[in-house]
Amino acid sequence: MSTATPQSDTRPAEAPTAAPPLRIALLGNPNTGKTTLFNRLSGLRHKTSNFPGTTLEARVGRIRVVVPADGAAPAVERAAEIIDLPGIYSLELDQLEAETCRAVLAGRAAPRGQPVAEPSALCVVADATNLPRSLMLVGEALRRRLPTVIAINMIDLARRRGIHINPAALEQELGCPVVCTSARTGEGLAELELAFARAAVPRQTPPGAEAGLRAWADTLYAAAAAGEPDQDADTLTDRLDRAFTHPVLGVAVFALVMAGLFWTIFILADIPTQWIEAVFGAATEGVRAVLPEGVIADLAADGIVAGVGAVVVFLPQICLLFFLIALLEDTGYLARAAFVVDRLLRPLGLPGHAFVPLLSAHACALPGIMAARAIPDRRERLATILVAPFMSCSARLPVYILLIGILFRDRPAMAALAFVGCYGLGIVAAAGSALIARRTILRGASRPMALELPTYKRPSLRTAAMTTWDRAVVFLRKAGTNIMAISIILWWLGAYPHVPPPADAVNLREAAVAAAPAEAEQLVQEADRLEAAHQKANSFAGRIGRTIQPIFEPLGYDWKLTVGVITSFAAREVFVSTMAVMVGGDEEDEQVLDTIAAAQRDDGTPLFTPAVCWSLLVYYVLAMQCLPTLAVTAREAGGVKWALLQLVWMCGIAYLAAMLAFHLAS
């Protein structure tokens, strides 16, 4: 089979542990199953980082390559690293992905944490169902004169379409190993691993000019493939596309699929989320039981354990979302979804790809922003990341429930309308902001859609699980550490400095000692609440709240509401528990809404007037009050400045809109 000449760097090493690992770069068109192939080869033995100076994902996997016996030298196993390069249509394109591939192949760049050096071999992943186009990329790659292996992937799909490919003929012609594989079924993978050891510098250098290269690829294809000429009607794909890309039916199918997706996440993520909350709740108590009361116990329990909990609690949603999206993508449907909604989003300066991130943001902005990676154009991706947090996430729900409950008590129809209005306001703000961003800071012609619609196929659970694993690890390692640090700082601001209990509380406790047991318990509870409220009011957060209250005066908020707004930066739902502590009542208590609703200002007038409720509602719909989101924005957008812009823009809009709402409703 082999006509290839082994290269110096594939010669068997006497002491394999001493030899540096082989570095094999995986190059290929999008939709060729390159990532599935990578997952098959490396399994979980891989690290995900990014290419320096970019947010392009770089995955490096560890595999073993068997170098066969060569004369006197016995066969040895060598460690090898495979680098998954971004999928590109051509190495010569003027885009970040292609530039990154060029740099890696030339030894000018490497994934973060890897030594910058030319790869020792190049594996070009070609698409067996569209080999003439893949051969164009093969030709460009061969011009790099690196030891090369060609994997013709998706051979099972090609066979089903009646396309026959003769790898031996290609190997003969090119002078480097050519292997037919199916990453989905595992076919040909053992052969591919063996071929890595035979990677050879190609015998010929294809023409550099595009026309010449195309003629070269066509000639090569004619010599190596046979099939029905001009038979392009893939009937199943045709039939499915007729439904899925139909202007009306397609949108309906899309709506159904998305509803199913989020319903599944809503139902399923809730269960592990509750477990996680229970586990961390128990852990907090456990820490308190073990450690002596004091600063260390407070830090460990309320700072660190609760901080870790604040990170981990997002995991179920993130994992489920990415698992389901990866499955949908693998079937080929997701490209159709982007196709269908492109027309709807285009007027806002956003592509069809932005829909999934924006919809995901309704559950939680974090996975939504992470899902924006699928958007190819940088400006469109940034615009999507910037506006995604306007979508009403589930953390806003407790606040909506509280405020709408106060506004429309016993009027469920009006309450439902107000809920819809909150979601609508968020969507309108996102649409308007996207429009403005795309005409100012992210100006640039909207790239008209040119989107490949891959062949439909059965999805690989393995690939989906691997993608999910990657996203979870990235989230925990990169965003998680920031989120935890932020949680600890916010806890500290809310809990310190410790102040002596107020006189009222001391008096109540003294009274409790003398009172009957039933009454004493009540008195102690009231004393606890007074102490907690006093502590909150005099903590750093409370002091900040009092200091900046004048800023929120035009919105109708007193200092207690200001403290609630400030503490909401840890997570919006904290508003409800903060208000419960500030004005009295227990969060667990079913009467908590009544207690909060009856809260009074320091001068004795009611606090939650309709005008204040509307103002708060509008503020919570629009304001950026989620530091974890800012941490993820900074990471995914590639700079803190984007997070700051998001914060200033959203809070600015929220402030003005809330002020307007307050004055209109007054």
Partner 1 sequence: MERGVQQTRTSPVALSLSQLRPGQRGIVRQADVAGDDAALLRAMGLCCNAKVRLCRAGEPCIVSVVTGNGAGCRIGLARPLAEKILVDPE
Binding residues for partner 1, per CB under 8 A?
Answer: 89-90, 92-95, 129-133, 136, 158, 161-163, 210, 214, 218, 221-222, 225-233, 237-238, 241-242, 245, 247, 335, 339, 342-343, 346, 447-454
Query: With the C-alpha atoms ordered 43, 48, 52, 57, is the resulting torsion angle positive or negative?
Result: positive
- Look up residue 292 and give its amino acid: P
CA 494 to chain centre: 30
* Minimal distance, residue 256 CB to partner 1, in Å: 20
Nearer to partner 1, 222 or 256 (CB): 222
The first and second tokens of residue 476, run together, are 């925990």
Query: With the C-alpha atoms ordered 93, 97, 101, 106, is the resulting torsion angle positive or negative?
Result: positive
Nearer to partner 1, 199 or 225 (CB): 225
Query: With the C-alpha atoms ordered 330, 331, 334, 335, is the resulting torsion angle positive or negative?
Result: positive
- Phi first, then psi: give them for residue 57, nearest 5 degrees: -75, 135
* Minimal distance, residue 247 CB to partner 1, in Å: 7
Please answer whether residues 67 and 12 qualify as being in contact, where contact means their C-beta atoms are separated by less than 8 angstroms.
yes
Upstream peptide bond of 497 is cis (omega within 30 degrees of 0): yes
* Minimal distance, residue 618 CB to partner 1, in Å: 36
* Minimal distance, residue 338 CB to partner 1, in Å: 8
User: Could you tell me the CA-to-CA distances from 610 to 71, 552, 662, 664 in Å, in that order?
Assistant: 89, 16, 9, 11
The first and second tokens of residue 383, run together, are 């615009």
Nearest to 479 by CA among 600, 637, 616, 607: 637
* Minimal distance, residue 318 CB to partner 1, in Å: 29
Please answer whether residues 616 and 605 qualify as being in contact, where contact means their C-beta atoms are separated by less than 8 angstroms.
no
* Minimal distance, residue 99 CB to partner 1, in Å: 13
Write the DSSP symbol of residue 351: -
Nearer to partner 1, 335 or 488 (CB): 335
Nearer to partner 1, 136 or 466 (CB): 136
The first and second tokens of residue 140, run together, are 């460009």
* Minimal distance, residue 430 CB to partner 1, in Å: 22
Nearest to 35 by CA among 84, 82, 81, 101: 84
* Minimal distance, residue 348 CB to partner 1, in Å: 15
Nearer to partner 1, 222 or 259 (CB): 222
Please answer whether residues 26 and 125 qualify as being in contact, where contact means their C-beta atoms are separated by less than 8 angstroms.
yes
Q: What angle do CA 523, 520, 596 make, to 5 degrees?
A: 30
| Strand 164-165, strand 76-84: pairing | unpaired
* Minimal distance, residue 259 CB to partner 1, in Å: 23
* Minimal distance, residue 138 CB to partner 1, in Å: 13
CA–CA dist 564, 568 (Å, integer): 6
CA–CA dist 287, 306 (Å, integer): 11
* Minimal distance, residue 162 CB to partner 1, in Å: 6
CA–CA dist 657, 660 (Å, integer): 5
Nearer to partner 1, 131 or 630 (CB): 131
* Minimal distance, residue 26 CB to partner 1, in Å: 18
Nearer to partner 1, 37 or 165 (CB): 165
CA-based end-to-end distance of the chain: 85
Nearer to partner 1, 329 or 342 (CB): 342
The first and second tokens of residue 75, run together, are 């066969």
Nearer to partner 1, 303 or 454 (CB): 454
Please answer whether residues 661 and 615 qualify as being in contact, where contact means their C-beta atoms are separated by less than 8 angstroms.
yes
Nearer to partner 1, 228 or 603 (CB): 228
* Minimal distance, residue 31 CB to partner 1, in Å: 8
Write the DSSP symbol of residue 144: T
Nearer to partner 1, 345 or 364 (CB): 345
Nearer to partner 1, 55 or 237 (CB): 237
CA–CA dist 44, 85 (Å, integer): 17
Nearer to partner 1, 225 or 512 (CB): 225
Q: Helix, strand, or coil here: 9?
A: helix
For the chain, state the CA radius of gyration.
30
